[in-house]
């Protein structure tokens, strides 16, 4: 980093003595890794810190507090954090020389998984805070400013959502016309490759009233599209209203019907789902709810029943395909997306070919694929028959070539058709705005085509690598 960007302190401290800033002047820089749940959590941490006098900054050099919201899903993700902490250590030292303090915190799934080990490996870290305790951040920081190093990774008894402040209206819309809303956290599925049940704990659903109130606040601020989040979002359940003033158990489908009633909310999405939790009501929501976008991220991981069993996915390739048939019957224009792991222990060429065959049968509109990464503490890491890296590389290349081709073909199939687009933001190039198709593709339009937040009809003229180009229909 460039030392010149550190301004000498303007609040009268002696060089070398960390300044005690008035609360209102503090700035926080948050860097987010990993999944959408971490994006949501980073916003909620920013909200908690705003109530504590911190304003957010994009310039790490001016931050009094740097928070890394981390991901532990693959080894590479976790290692990124340590290399970033190395850079931050140097910045912290430079800032100390200029007489300003820079507190460093690690949040998220690496924090939960590695706890105090992070401070041992990176002594520049002042606090480690797990995802279940973000509402305690202001208290933790007060103690850190008093000179303590803190590791806060116990699961809180209290409901963090009840303690996390809501963002101000202006802040909501500054973040955009699309928003995330976490409805469910944690996972009880224990797929043998996955750390999530250990980093995020067991499955918890937020209550209906809390979710509806949060969605209403988002809509009132001008949000048009809400994506419901959960590590296992379609396992969400809760007590909701029933006829005669009674309550009954709702699943995600019923919740989506309720959220679709909120004025202003034009689009709903949810992610990530597990095939075993796609129930009839959720499929019916795809059939009957125009606000529910025709796009479903439904990871299958592998097309081989032997590997699916070893992964503890508790469904077969045929179960998955039969489920897709039911979903497509309910909503014929639905686009499918998935996650794949290649090179799980014991995966043979025949197992991999079964994955390729499943992909050919499904025809995905988009997908994410990864090389298996053994994670400490998961059963997969203890299995024998690990697949050599070179084989994983080669399989990943073949799979990705097929998935990219399917994604491009899906884009091409839309050329010439008229579709709805939600205008989200200015484009990277002058004179353009960027919208979002029902199938989650970015849509590039002329900036005069509509205002941010409008849903307009456009005709697709051509495809880019990952996006669509369109003109007003």
Residue 67: exposed, middle, or buried by beta-carbon count in 10 A (0-12, 13-18, 19+)? buried
What phi, psi does 236 have (nearest 5°)?
-55, 140
73 scored as a contact of ligand SAH (CB under 6 A)? yes
- Min dist CB 44 to ligand F3S, Å, is 14
- Min dist CB 31 to ligand F3S, Å, is 13
Q: Are 101 and 63 in contact (CB under 8 A)?
A: no
42 scored as a contact of ligand F3S (CB under 6 A)? no
Choices 52-60, 109-117, 190-198, 383-391; region in contact with ligand SAH by CB under 6 A: 190-198
Site for ligand F3S in 233-272 (CB under 6 A): none
232 scored as a contact of ligand SAH (CB under 6 A)? yes
The one of ligand SF4, ligand SAH, ligand F3S, none whose footprint includes residue 34, by CB under 5 to 8 A per kind, is ligand F3S
Distance, CA of 100 to CA of 93 (rounded, Å): 10
313 scored as a contact of ligand F3S (CB under 6 A)? no
Q: Which position's Cβ is nearest ligand F3S? A: 34
Give the Cα-Cα-Cα angle 57, 136, 41 (nearest 5 degrees): 50
Work out which of 274, 297, 375, 433 binds ligand SF4, going by CB under 6 A: 274
Work out which of 143, 189, 239, 425 binds ligand SF4, going by CB under 6 A: 189
CA distances in angstroms from 321 to 66, 299, 316, 341, 471, listed in the order given = 45, 12, 9, 18, 36
194 scored as a contact of ligand SF4 (CB under 6 A)? yes
Residues 176-195: x/- map of binding to ligand F3S (CB under 6 A)? -------------------x
Beta-carbon contacts of residue 131 (< 8 Å; ≥ 6 apart): 41, 107, 108, 109, 111, 112, 185, 199, 200
Give the Cα-Cα-Cα angle 295, 296, 302 (nearest 5 degrees): 140
Site for ligand SAH in 195-214 (CB under 6 A): 196
The one of ligand F3S, ligand SF4, ligand SAH, none whose footprint includes residue 197, by CB under 5 to 8 A per kind, is ligand SF4
Q: Which position's Cβ is nearest ligand SAH? A: 339
Beta-carbon contacts of residue 442 (< 8 Å; ≥ 6 apart): 434, 435, 436, 466, 467, 468
Instruction: Give the DSSP H/E element, type plus range, for residue 290.
Output: none
Instruction: Give the DSSP H/E element, type plus range, for residue 232.
Output: none
| # of chain residues touching ligand SAH (CB under 6 A) | 17
Give the start-end residues of each E strand in 197-285: 204-205, 225-229, 237-241, 247-251, 267-271
274 scored as a contact of ligand SAH (CB under 6 A)? yes
Residues 134-173: x/- map of binding to ligand F3S (CB under 6 A)? ----------------------------------------
What phi, psi does 113 have (nearest 5°)?
-75, -35
Beta-strand pair 178-182/103-107: unpaired
User: Which residues sit at the interface with ligand SAH, rule CB under 6 A?
Assistant: 73-74, 193-194, 196, 231-232, 272, 274, 299, 301, 339, 341, 370, 372-373, 375
Binding site for ligand F3S (CB under 6 A): 34-35, 37-38, 71-73, 108-109, 195-196, 199-200, 231
The site for ligand SF4 (CB under 6 A) is made up of 187, 189-191, 194, 196-197, 231-232, 274
């Amino acid at each position: 980093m460039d030392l010149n960007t550190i301004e000498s302190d303007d609040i009268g401290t002696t060089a070398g003595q960390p300044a005690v800033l008035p609360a209102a002047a503090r700035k926080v820089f948050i860097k987010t890794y990993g999944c959408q749940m971490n994006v949501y959590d980073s916003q909620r941490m920013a909200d908690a810190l705003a109530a504590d006098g911190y304003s957010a900054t994009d310039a790490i050099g001016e931050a009094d507090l740097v928070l890394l919201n981390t991901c532990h899903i693959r080894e590479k993700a976790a290692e990124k954090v340590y290399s970033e902490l190395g850079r931050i250590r140097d910045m912290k030292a430079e800032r100390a020389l200029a007489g300003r303090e820079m507190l460093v915190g690690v949040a998220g799934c690496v924090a939960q998984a590695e706890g105090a080990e992070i401070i041992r490996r990176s002594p520049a870290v002042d606090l480690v805070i797990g995802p279940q305790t973000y509402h305690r951040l202001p208290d933790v920081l007060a103690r850190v400013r008093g000179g303590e190093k803190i590791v806060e990774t116990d699961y809180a008894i209290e409901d963090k959502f009840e303690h996390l402040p809501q963002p101000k209206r202006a802040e909501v819309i500054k973040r955009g016309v699309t928003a995330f809303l976490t409805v469910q956290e944690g996972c009880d599925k224990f797929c043998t490759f996955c750390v999530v049940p250990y980093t995020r704990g067991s499955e918890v659903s937020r209550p209906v009233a809390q979710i509806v109130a949060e969605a209403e606040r988002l809509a009132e601020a001008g949000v048009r599209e809400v994506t419901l989040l959960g590590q296992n979002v379609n396992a969400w359940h809760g007590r909701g209203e029933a006829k005669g003033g009674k309550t009954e158990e709702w699943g995600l489908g019923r919740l989506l019907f309720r959220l679709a009633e909120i004025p202003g909310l034009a689009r709903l999405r949810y992610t990530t789902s597990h095939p075993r939790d796609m129930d009839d009501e959720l499929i019916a929501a795809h059939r009957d709810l125009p606000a529910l976008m025709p796009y479903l991220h439904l990871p299958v991981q592998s097309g081989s029943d032997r590997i699916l069993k070893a992964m503890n996915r508790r469904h077969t390739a045929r179960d998955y395909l039969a489920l897709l048939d039911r979903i497509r019957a309910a909503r014929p224009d639905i686009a499918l997306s998935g996650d794949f792991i290649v090179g799980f222990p014991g995966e043979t060429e025949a197992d991999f070919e079964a994955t390729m065959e499943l992909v050919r049968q499904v025809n995905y509109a988009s997908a994410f694929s990864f090389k298996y990464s053994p994670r400490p503490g998961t059963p997969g890491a203890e299995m024998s028959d690990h697949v050599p890296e070179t084989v994983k590389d080669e399989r990943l290349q073949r799979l990705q070539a097929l998935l990219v081709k399917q994604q491009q073909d899906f884009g091409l199939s839309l050329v010439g058709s008229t579709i709805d687009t939600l205008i989200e933001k200015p484009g990277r190039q002058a004179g353009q705005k960027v919208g979002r198709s029902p199938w989650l593709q970015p849509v590039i339009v002329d900036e005069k085509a509509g205002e941010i937040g409008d849903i307009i009809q456009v005709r697709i003229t051509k495809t880019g690598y990952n996006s669509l180009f369109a003109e007003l229909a």
